[in-house]
Chains A and B, each alone.
Chain A
Amino acid sequence: MSGKGLVDAERRRFNRRALAPSLIVLFLIAGLPAIYLVVTSLTPFQLVNPGSSTDFSSPLRNYRLLPDDPRFVNSLWVQAKLSFWGVLFQVLLGMLLALLLHTQSRVVEFARTFFLIPMVLPPIVVAIIWKLIYTPDISPLYYAASLLNIAMPSLTSSVDFALTAIIIADTWEWLPFTFLMVLAALQTIPDEFSEAALVDGANRLQIFFYITLPFITPILVISGMFRLIDSVKAFPLVFLLTGGGPGSVTEVTNYYAYLLAFDFNEIGYSSAVTIVMLLLVVAVSLGVVWMGRRREAMA
């Protein structure tokens, strides 16, 4: 019908006009920088050598240097460890917390809000909080340890515990995220299943494993993946608590790229490191989107 056709055309025009400014702006402030990043990663650009920003004589030089750079390889391992353990504990503890709070009570619904606090604090404040806890001179943790006659080393300057200290702080910060997601999922599980199971004589544990868990597993996986993507951004904690140390034990790739760019001014090399990080993030993001679409298809 020509009437609908006109409406459609007008609609398309509106859509274009509504979308265009955003796309243009996004291209300018996100797309262009990304292109610039890729281009710079092909140069040996250093701030103190002005000519180096356009030196394309050896475009893959930075990428070739990466595998031989023990600090870079180490940073990938550190990141992997931080992400793995962090996500694991966040998912597990978040799930346990959700199970604990999955109950009918006005009080609990009100209290639920307070559990979110660690997640909404500015990350740098979270770093400050944990800096206070990990500084022996002023920390209640060390006081308690001395009362119990435990010789606790300074965690953030201990090779064995520095990364653990950061994982603890990171888990504390993001626990509420998985908690919220799992709690929401728990509330969508229909009553009939568990009621039927109860009638059949199943106990709590069996109900958990055979009914609850299958239901929330997709949510667990998805929240885990989101946290995985975000864990690459870990900066304030490392910046404030350990500075990447002791040695390079807590130097994650993001932090290493930061040092390269802003302390050593090796802009080109830092860009290459960043690109590698981005590729990893994109890969995981693709996984998330794919899983989300699978879920939609199944639902």
Chain B
Amino acid sequence: MTKKNSDDKPARFSRRKLLQAGAATIGAAAFPMPGIAQPKPFAGVTLRGASFQHRFFTLLQNYIPEFEAQTGMKVDLQLSAFPVYNQQANLELSSGGSAFDFVNVTFILAARWVAAGLLANLDEFTGDPNLTPAEWKPKDFVEGAQVPYRDAKGATYGYSWEGGAMVMGLSRMDLMEKKGLKIPKTFAELQQVCAEINGTDGVTGLVSFQLHHWCLPPYIQGFGGNIFRNPPTDIMPALNSPEAIQAVEFYSNLLKNYAPKGVLTYTEDQARQALLTGRSNIFIHSSAWITPILLSNESKVKDTSRVVRMPAGPVRDFPAANSQGLGIPKNAKNKKAAWEFIKWALSPEISMRLVKEHGHSSVCRRSVIESEEYRKLNTVGGQDLGALYLEVLGLPAKGENYMAYRTVKEFPIVGDVLNKAFEQVATGQLAAQAAMNAAQEQAVANMRRAGTAL
């Protein structure tokens, strides 16, 4: 239901005005006022937004006509494939563009955009009672999901629509019970369980996917290391610490020995498929990708699945948490209209409707997650998925903000180096130590080349 706009003449400023006037006239004529003589506040505005394709937006598009009828504006939401969207949005915002009024702020890029001042400060909108009623409750958003969208001074530049709480899903409890295995709670136990299950009944012990800089840090932190020395203040990379090397060895062994062929190029969807069909036993990823084993109609393993906390490392227990959010580019043309949209899309009402009407539960409003209906829909076989989700999402705010590495604006550079280095280890090209030493050098060099003083 994406709308096309083939207007490409340079004189589009005046043409837009003409369009607006035309639209307003047509709008006024086409929508008979239902007795309430209220002028539509944004009549004639075309709101342009972009994101990557995700179920949230597909579902939201069902409700957008209501929003359009309410406000009078037209919403032109452009969805693209994940890598394509990220690159285009990053390019657009980095060059100060105004093609979009609202954008998805992907977690990978959130820190970079916030630190570089590419997004509008949303506190101006939430702080103004004329623009945002108190019932909207900005503080209702789960802390852990909001952290990436705040700058050093605490101002907010995005509101989260999706929370990624890293949990562990096990799809073949039947096999585990047969072999007398318990749910692993430590890294060592995880390895053991994977080893025992792998190969039984054609099932692989583990499945994962290609975003190593998301999957790997919990292991690095679990063994006591970190991506940077002490983010956000000390951003010297710490990729070749003994703990990091140990983590890389551990995780790469899991993938080398207990995962499906070609797992290194697996997308999330391929991994989820493997889990849903019971071809792999364990998958550790954001809950939205794991809970389908219990909740989705596609799942063939509903009766043999469990969703629990991921195992803890010997030193730390830091499951990753991330989020996707909506933000307004600094140079957007229709900021007020954009805020109206974001306000509506992330309102308690819409969030609740998504949960109730479509079973979409990775929303970020605490009030919704803790509600009765949510609990009812998301408790399966005695497993309270909502509570688990909240628990993990809230962890970074509870003590040490261990996800601070994500808020370093140079993280994409280091993450990319980490990805490549891990691939080299997992494919046997290099030993972990050699790879991580080289990665450390590369990361430092790349950061310096990009202008960071280290």
A residues lining the B interface (CB < 8 Å): 44, 46-50, 52, 65, 68-71, 135-137, 153-154, 156-159, 242, 245-249, 262-266, 269
CB closest chain-B residue, reference A248: B420
A47 to B96, CA, bound (A): 9
Out of B94, B261, B416, B428, name the residue touching A47 (CB < 8 Å): B94
A262 touches B91 (CB 8 A): yes
A265 to B450, CA, bound (A): 9
Out of A157, A262, A266, A269, name the residue touching B264 (CB < 8 Å): A157
CB closest chain-A residue, reference B266: A157
Out of B87, B112, B264, B451, name the residue touching A246 (CB < 8 Å): B264
Task: Report the minimal beta-carbon distance from B363 to chain A, rounded to whole angstroms.
Answer: 30
CB-CB under 8 A for A245 and B423, given A46-B450, A154-B262: yes
CB-CB under 8 A for A153 and B90, given A245-B420, A247-B424, A266-B450: no
CB closest chain-A residue, reference B112: A48
Out of B262, B412, B429, name the residue touching A136 (CB < 8 Å): B262
B116 touches A48 (CB 8 A): yes
Q: Is B270 at the interface (CB under 8 A from chain A)?
A: yes
A46 touches B451 (CB 8 A): yes
Q: Mark B417-447, 1 if CB is under 8 A from A, else 0.
A: 0001101101111000000001000100100
A94 to B262, CA, bound (A): 32
Q: Mark B263-274, 1 if CB is under 8 A from A, else 0.
A: 111000010000
Task: Report the minimal beta-carbon distance from A106 to chain B, rounded to whole angstroms.
Answer: 46
Residues of A within 8 A of B427 (CB): 157-159, 246-247
Residues of B within 8 A of A153 (CB): 261-262
A266 touches B91 (CB 8 A): no
A14 to B165, CA, bound (A): 72
Q: Is B14 at the interface (CB under 8 A from chain A)?
A: no
A214 to B177, CA, bound (A): 73
Residues of B within 8 A of A266 (CB): 449-450
B442 touches A71 (CB 8 A): yes
Residues of B within 8 A of A262 (CB): 87, 91
Residues of A within 8 A of B442 (CB): 70-71
A65 to B270, CA, bound (A): 39
Residues of A within 8 A of B438 (CB): 70
CB-CB under 8 A for A69 and B445, given A44-B451, A157-B264, A157-B427: yes
B262 touches A157 (CB 8 A): yes
Q: Which of B375-422 contact A (CB under 8 A)?
A: 412-413, 416, 420-421
Residues of B within 8 A of A69 (CB): 445
Residues of A within 8 A of B297 (CB): none
Out of B270, B423, B449, name the residue touching A137 (CB < 8 Å): B270
Residues of A within 8 A of B112 (CB): 48
Residues of A within 8 A of B261 (CB): 136, 153-154
A242 to B262, CA, bound (A): 11
Given contacts A70-B442, A157-B262, A245-B420, 18 further A-B contacts (CB under 8 A): A44-B451, A47-B95, A48-B94, A48-B116, A50-B96, A52-B451, A65-B449, A157-B264, A245-B265, A246-B264, A246-B423, A246-B427, A246-B429, A248-B420, A262-B87, A263-B87, A264-B416, A269-B449
18 contacts between A and B (CB under 8 A): A46-B451, A48-B118, A50-B96, A52-B451, A135-B262, A154-B264, A156-B265, A157-B427, A245-B265, A246-B265, A246-B424, A246-B427, A247-B429, A263-B87, A263-B412, A264-B413, A264-B450, A265-B91
Residues of B within 8 A of A135 (CB): 262
Residues of A within 8 A of B96 (CB): 50
A49 touches B451 (CB 8 A): yes
B262 touches A264 (CB 8 A): no
Task: Report the minimal beta-carbon distance from B241 to chain A, rounded to whole angstroms.
Answer: 21
CB-CB under 8 A for A265 and B265, given A47-B95, A159-B429: no
Residues of A within 8 A of B95 (CB): 47
Task: Report the minimal beta-carbon distance from A212 to chain B, rounded to whole angstroms.
Answer: 43
Residues of B within 8 A of A248 (CB): 420
Task: Report the minimal beta-carbon distance from B330 to chain A, rounded to whole angstroms.
Answer: 12
B265 touches A154 (CB 8 A): yes
Task: Report the minimal beta-carbon distance from B35 to chain A, rounded to whole angstroms.
Answer: 52
CB closest chain-A residue, reference B260: A136
Residues of A within 8 A of B118 (CB): 48
Residues of A within 8 A of B423 (CB): 245-247
A14 to B87, CA, bound (A): 48
**Lowest 8 CB-CB distances: which A-B pairs, in order?**
A154-B262, A47-B94, A247-B424, A159-B427, A246-B423, A157-B264, A157-B265, A247-B423
Residues of A within 8 A of B450 (CB): 46, 264, 266
Q: Which of B74-109 contact A (CB under 8 A)?
A: 87, 90-91, 94-96
CB closest chain-A residue, reference B86: A263
A70 to B428, CA, bound (A): 19
CB-CB under 8 A for A159 and B428, given A246-B423, A248-B420, A264-B450: yes
Task: Report the minimal beta-carbon distance from B220 to chain A, rounded to whole angstroms.
Answer: 19
Task: Report the minimal beta-carbon distance from B441 to chain A, rounded to whole angstroms.
Answer: 8
CB closest chain-B residue, reference A65: B449
CB closest chain-A residue, reference B88: A262
Task: Report the minimal beta-carbon distance from A253 to chain B, rounded to whole angstroms.
Answer: 16
Residues of B within 8 A of A245 (CB): 264-265, 420, 423
Residues of A within 8 A of B94 (CB): 47-48, 265
Residues of A within 8 A of B412 (CB): 263-264
A246 to B212, CA, bound (A): 12
A265 to B428, CA, bound (A): 31
A260 to B112, CA, bound (A): 16
A190 to B265, CA, bound (A): 53
Most chain-B Cβ atoms within 10 A of its Cβ — which of A49, A247, A263? A247
